[in-house]
């Protein structure tokens, strides 16, 4: 048996500095930016309140990236050194964006777990683990394997809308040569699947972001809901606005001010990457 200890701490970021805050959900106020160094989930959550400005958010992101590398020292403990991504949690989008709500719920989960407070601000989580009986989503390997076999034998997947292949396909025995030939023939005669226009728009939005990242870094990406109910994406860097666009069905609509601060060569490269990736991904639609 082994006891693992993980830590969490909340740091208010203001004017390029980080200050410790009480470890409580009430610390996430509308007018502040807070880095939650979360060793439980292995990330830094960057809470951005509804009343915080763009300059404040960009500056806080740079501080959070530094925390990601060096961690935060409190007494003999270094919290969160070499954590994973810095994940923004936009207070303005929690009610309208399911992804932001999911991130916020993970933060709230921290306060539902068993933990103690040390040095007034440091949350300490302890869990007992064993190497002799590994756990798979809370189950022993034997229990997991039994459930997998039952799922393979079941005629339906119940309320889960994924196919059995998506859930437990990796545990099936390798297909026979006859099965491979049959599946290949089936795919050859089946018409190409169609993708709903709204989903194509979402795909193109992600391609815009990944294309910009080929030329620029240290980006701030925001998503909000416009008056018409359409999502509006904003991409900025330290110099200001890179581009701003909305999704109209399967189309991307760039707004005034987009690309004005980007040099012509970088803009051309970004556009080429976007076109090439869009064609490659959607060529069968």
pTM of the model: 0.48
| Cα 80 to the center of its chain, rounded Å | 18
Compute the distance between CA of residue 211 and CA of residue 220 in angstroms, rounded to an integer.
14
The structural domains of the chain, with segments of one domain joined by +, span: 2-128, 197-282
Task: Give residue 283's pLDDT.
Answer: 66
| Token digits of residue 226 | 């416009």
Torsional class of 229: left (φ above 0), alpha (ψ -120 to 50), beta (otherwise): left
Residues 6+ apart with CB under 8 A from 7: 37, 39, 77, 79, 80, 122, 123, 124, 125
Residue 240 has pLDDT above 90, yes or no: no
Burial of 173 (0-12, 13-18, 19+ CB in 10 A): exposed
CATH code at 2-128? 3.40.20
Can you give the pLDDT at residue 135? 45
pLDDT digits (tens, 9 = 90+) for 269-284: 999 998 888 888 766 5
Of 73-77, 84-88, 150-154, 203-207, give the lowest mean pLDDT range.
150-154
* Distance from C-alpha of 270 to C-alpha of 212, rounded to nearest angstrom: 6
Residue 189 banded pLDDT, cuts 50, 70, 90 = very low
Q: Is 87 in contact with 104 (CB distance < 8 Å)?
A: no
Please give the pLDDT value at position 166: 55
pLDDT at 150 over 70: no
279 membership: H or E segment, kind and range: helix 264-282
pLDDT tens by residue, 221-233:
888 877 777 888 9
Contacts of 27 (CB under 8 A, 6+ apart): 10, 12, 21, 34
| pLDDT for 44 beyond 60 | yes
Residue 19 has pLDDT above 90, yes or no: yes
Range with the lowest mean pLDDT among 19-23, 191-195, 265-269?
191-195
Q: pLDDT for 58-89, tens place per residue?
A: 999 999 988 988 899 998 889 988 788 899 99
């Amino acid at each position: 048996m082994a006891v693992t200890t993980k830590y969490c701490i909340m740091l208010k970021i203001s004017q390029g500095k980080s200050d410790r805050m009480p470890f409580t959900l009430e610390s996430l106020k509308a007018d502040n930016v807070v880095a939650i160094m979360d060793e439980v989930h292995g990330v830094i959550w960057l809470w951005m309140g509804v009343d915080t400005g763009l300059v404040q958010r960009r500056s806080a992101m740079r501080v959070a990236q530094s925390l990601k590398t060096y961690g935060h020292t409190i007494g003999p403990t270094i919290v969160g050194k070499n954590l994973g991504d810095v994940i923004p949690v936009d207070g303005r989008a929690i009610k309208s964006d399911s992804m932001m709500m999911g991130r916020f719920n993970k933060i709230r989960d921290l306060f539902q777990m068993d933990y103690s407070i040390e040095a007034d601000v440091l949350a300490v989580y302890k869990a007992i683990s064993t190497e002799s009986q590994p756990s798979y989503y809370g189950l022993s390997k034997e229990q997991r394997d039994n459930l997998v076999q039952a799922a393979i034998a079941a005629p339906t997947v119940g309320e889960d809308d994924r196919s059995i292949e998506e859930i437990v396909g990796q545990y099936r025995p390798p297909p026979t040569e006859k099965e491979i030939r049959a599946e290949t023939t089936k795919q050859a005669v089946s018409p190409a699947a169609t993708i709903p226009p709204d989903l194509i728009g979402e795909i193109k939005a992600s391609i815009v972001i990944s294309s910009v990242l080929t030329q620029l870094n240290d980006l701030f990406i925001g998503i909000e809901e416009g008056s018409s109910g359409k999502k509006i994406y904003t991409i900025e860097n330290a110099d200001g606005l890179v581009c701003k666009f909305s999704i109209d069905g399967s189309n991307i609509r760039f707004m005034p001010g987009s690309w004005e601060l980007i040099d012509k060569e970088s803009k051309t490269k970004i556009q080429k990457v976007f076109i090439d990736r869009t064609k490659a991904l959607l060529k069968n639609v």
